[in-house]
Amino acid sequence: MIAVDTLIHARWIIPVEPESVTLEHHTLVIDAGRIIEVLPTHLAQAKYQGACTEALDNHALLPGLINSHTHAAMALMRGIADDLPLMDWLNNHIWPLEQKWMSEAFVRDGTDLAIAEMIRGGTTCFNDMYFFPDITAKQAIQHGMRASIGLIVFDFPTIWAEHSDAYIEKGLALYDRMRHQPLISTTFAPHAPYTVSDGPLEKIRTLSDELDRPIHIHVHETLHEVEQAQQDNGKRPLQRLHELGLVNPSLMAVHATQLTDAEIAMLAEAGAHIVHCPESNLKLASGFCPVARCIAAGINVALGTDGAASNNDLDMFGEMRTAALLGKAVAGDASAVPAMTVLRMATINGAKALGLEHEIGSLSVGKAADVIAIDLNLLETRPLYCPVSQIVYAASRQQVTDVWVAGKRLLNQRQLTTINLDELTAKVAQWQQRLSG
Amino acid sequence: MIAVDTLIHARWIIPVEPESVTLEHHTLVIDAGRIIEVLPTHLAQAKYQGACTEALDNHALLPGLINSHTHAAMALMRGIADDLPLMDWLNNHIWPLEQKWMSEAFVRDGTDLAIAEMIRGGTTCFNDMYFFPDITAKQAIQHGMRASIGLIVFDFPTIWAEHSDAYIEKGLALYDRMRHQPLISTTFAPHAPYTVSDGPLEKIRTLSDELDRPIHIHVHETLHEVEQAQQDNGKRPLQRLHELGLVNPSLMAVHATQLTDAEIAMLAEAGAHIVHCPESNLKLASGFCPVARCIAAGINVALGTDGAASNNDLDMFGEMRTAALLGKAVAGDASAVPAMTVLRMATINGAKALGLEHEIGSLSVGKAADVIAIDLNLLETRPLYCPVSQIVYAASRQQVTDVWVAGKRLLNQRQLTTINLDELTAKVAQWQQRLSG
- pLDDT tens digits, residue range B132-163? 999 999 999 999 999 999 999 999 999 999 99
Together in a domain, B208 and B97: yes
Asked whether residue B244 falls in the same domain as residue B366, the answer is: no
Q: Taking the CA atoms of A281, A282, A285 and A288 in sequence, report the sign of the dihedral they define.
A: positive
A233 to chain B, closest Cα gap in Å: 25
Confidence category of residue A87, pLDDT binned at 50, 70, 90 = confident
Would strands A48-63 and A2-13 be described as parallel, antiparallel, or unpaired? parallel
Chain B: give the shortest CA distance to residue A74, in Å: 11
Crossing angle of helices B421-436 and B104-120, rounded to 10°: 130
CB-nearest partner of B425 from A284, A382, A394: A382
In chain B, what residues touch A390 (CB-CB under 8 Å)?
A: 78-79, 312
Q: Nearest CA to CA, how far is B356 from chain A (Å)?
A: 28
The alpha helices in A234-315, defined as continuous H runs, are 237-243, 261-270, 278-283, 291-296
Range of the domain at A27: 2-63+362-406
Burial (CB < 10 A; 0-12, 13-18, 19+), residue A1, is: exposed
Asked whether A197 and A189 are in contact (CB, 8 A), the reply is: no
A-chain CB neighbours of B76 within 8 Å are 383
Evaluate whether A140 touches A419 at the Cβ level (below 8 Å).
no
- Residue B427 placed within a domain: no
- Mutation pick from B277, B282, B310, B314 vs chain A, by most beta carbons of A within 10 Å, is B282
Residue B407: pLDDT over 90: yes
**Contact present, B276 and B289 (Cβ < 8 Å):** yes
Q: Do A199 and A161 have their domain in common? A: yes
Q: How far A96 CA sits from the closest chain B CA (Å)?
A: 17
pLDDT over 90 at A365, yes or no:
yes
User: How would DSSP label each residue in A330-348?
Assistant: HHT-TTSS-HHHHHHHTTH
Give the residues across from A335 on adjacent strands: none
Residue A90 has pLDDT above 90, yes or no: no
- For B136, phi then psi, to 5°, come to -55, -45
User: Cβ A329–B282 below 8 Å, yes or no?
Assistant: yes
Q: Is residue B316 part of a domain?
A: yes
Beta carbons of A83 and B338 less than 8 Å apart: yes
Q: For B83, which of A329, A335, A383 is closest by C-beta distance?
A: A335
Domain assignment of residue B420, yes or no: no
A224 and A327 co-located in one domain: yes
**Is residue B122 domain-shared with residue B227, that is, in the same domain?**
yes
- Distance (Å, whole) CA A208 – CA A203: 9
Do A71 and A51 share a structural domain?
no
Q: Residue A409's beta-bridge partner residues?
A: A404
Of A285, A311, A393, the CB nearest to B82: A393
Q: Which residues of B touch A282 (CB under 8 A)?
A: 325-326, 328-329
Mark which of A318, A353, A388 sits at the end of a domain: A353
Distance of alpha carbon B35 from alpha carbon A80, whole angstroms? 32
Instruction: Specify the pLDDT at position A409.
Output: 98
Neighboring chain A residues of B329 at a CB cutoff of 8 Å: 281-282, 285-288
End-to-end CA, chain A: 62
ipTM of the complex: 0.97
Mean residue pLDDT of chain B comes to 97
Q: Quick check: is B375 in a domain?
A: yes
C-beta separation of A349 from A303 below 8 A: yes
Residue at which a domain ends, from A353, A380, A398:
A353
3-state helix, strand, coil in chain B (%, to 5): 45, 25, 30
Please answer yes or no on whether A396 and B398 come within 8 Å at the CB atom: yes
Torsion of CA A167, A173, A177, A180, to 10 degrees: 90
**Closest chain B residue to the Cα of A109, Cα to Cα:** B383
Whole-angstrom Cα distance, residue A217 to residue A228?
17
Q: What is the pLDDT at residue B111?
A: 98
The pLDDT tens digits of the residues spanning B130-140 come to 999 999 999 99
Q: Does pLDDT of B86 surpass 90? A: no
Judge whether A180 lies within some domain.
yes
Count of structural domains within chain A: 2
Kind of pairing, strands A215-219 and A273-276?
A: unpaired
Q: B120 and A380 in contact by Cβ < 8 A?
A: yes
| pLDDT band per the 50, 70, 90 thresholds, residue B437 | confident
Give the tens place of pLDDT for each residue, B311-365. 999 999 999 999 999 999 999 999 999 999 999 999 999 999 999 999 999 999 9
Question: Is A404 strand, coil or helix?
Answer: strand
Mean pLDDT (chain A, rounded): 97
Return the CATH number at B395.
Answer: 2.30.40.10
How far, CA to CA in Å, does A398 sit from each of A81, A380, B315? 26, 11, 14
- The pLDDT score that the predictor gives to residue B20 is 87
Residues of chain A with Cβ-Cβ distance to B312 below 8 Å are 389-390, 393-394
Q: What is the CATH number of the domain that holds A193?
A: 3.20.20.140
A245 to chain B nearest CA, in Å?
A: 32
Q: Does residue B399 share a domain with residue B305?
A: no
User: Under an 8 A CB cutoff, do A78 and B382 touch?
Assistant: yes
Q: Are residues B158 and B189 in the same domain?
A: yes
Residue B43 pLDDT > 90: yes
Question: Which residue in A223, A375, A379, A421 has the most chain B C-beta atoms within 10 A of its own C-beta, making it the best mutation to test that interface?
Answer: A379
Same domain, yes or no, for B83 and B187?
yes
Closest approach of A186 to chain B, Cα-based (Å): 27
Spell out the residues 6+ positions from residue B204 whose beta carbon is closer than 8 angstroms to its own: B153, B168, B188, B190, B196, B215, B246
- Domain assignment present for A272: yes
Residue B315 maps to a domain: yes
